[in-house]
Structure 1
């Protein structure tokens, strides 16, 4: 049974793939993150990942099962075919990925859709696209987690994007625990993080900080 989108799911949004946790098992990391209280998980296995397509599918099934048991939405990054094969709750796509209208046509009846938007122009175009659940904006701060990251957005520009958007925005990119209160002041609905949680020495502290940052809940 798919989990429907709720803005509250953006509060503590964990993004991770095998390339982000060298020497660790992704299933183990996800179990720890779910136990700590993450509100959404995005399976983003790419870049330095050495998984074959069949291995990525098999691992995705395990991860989806863990999320399902915890009642947390399981979101796939970019790959429509993989998202459909896994029966994902959601898919997140970027500006340079498959055309957003094609994605909406292919999956909107089966899962919710998130779209990366880092400029006012992109947000205004997204406002005209029916079928989107939320937008992801960033990198808010410099990040080393994505080799193909867009230019840094910054807090002031992020606030402009939030004001312009007709959908809730989750911030991503270079976020640390200390920056969460200032981030919440921009009006975003939450933070999507890779390194902040994957490299944390205390998952419970990190996720609690995310969940209690004071995000705008409309």
Structure 2
């Protein structure tokens, strides 16, 4: 049974695929286990780009990560892959503006899982506001990022604040967020932060996650 969406899930939101794990001594399931033990509030599996797994291995990995999230009672979200989301009985699916149209995804998943959508402009937010079936919005990149080769132009803190003000849905910030700059985010009104490298490449995952949670618990 998929988890119902709650705003608190956005507070410390970890996104990763095998391509994001740069440490030779740790696997993605090991990094995720540490992140889950440290208190992340959601996990999105995003297997994309150079060094990512083939389709068959991706499915196996998704099942492994799904089980881990289930054990820790944390939502498992799949990035832009309806078939994989349905096969793993994911709690949520996240789609970007360049991916399949969100309305089609909503029809395909029905009430089986919640849907998140990336919105980087006020126009995109306005459409999301009128679209039945979206639970939250991901907005950014707030800061320059090295994790996505096709990242959109940086919107900055001021841009993020404008999007939050125009959104009827809760917003999670993404893009270039670090342990240093994350303290600037609460003033924008976002519900939380979603990060890749801040956790995936951290030398102290516990510290990184604790920092994320602390910033939004104030």
Q: TM-score, normalised by structure 2?
A: 0.96
Q: Which blocks of at least 5 consecutive residues in structure 1 are unaligned?
A: none
Query: Using the alignment, how far apart are the partners of 1:132 and 1:177 within structure 2?
Result: 29
Alignment partner, residue 162 of structure 1: 164
CA contact (8 A) 2:17 2:52 kept: no
Q: Which blocks of at least 5 consecutive residues in structure 2 are unaligned?
A: none
Following TM superposition, by how much is the alpha carbon of 1:48 offset from its aligned partner in structure 2, in angstroms? Answer: 1.3
How many residue pairs are counted as aligned between the two chains?
216
Provide the secondary structure at the position in 2 that maps to 1:41.
strand
Q: Which stretch has the larger CA shift, 155-164 or 173-182? A: 173-182
Following TM superposition, by how much is the alpha carbon of 1:108 offset from its aligned partner in structure 2, in angstroms? Answer: 2.9
Deviation above 6 Å: which 4+ runs of structure 1?
A: none
Asked if 1:19 corresponds to 2:19, the answer is: yes
CA contact (8 A) 1:162 1:186 kept: yes
Residues 63-212 of structure 1 correspond to what in structure 2 (within 5 A)?
63-212=65-214
CA contact (8 A) 1:17 1:49 kept: no
Query: Using the alignment, how far apart are the partners of 1:133 and 1:64 within structure 2?
Result: 20
> Cα deviations across residues 172-193 of structure 1 (Å, max 9, x unaligned)?
0000111122111100000000
Alignment partner, residue 7 of structure 2: 7
> Cα deviations across residues 111-141 of structure 1 (Å, max 9, x unaligned)?
0000000000100011010000000001000
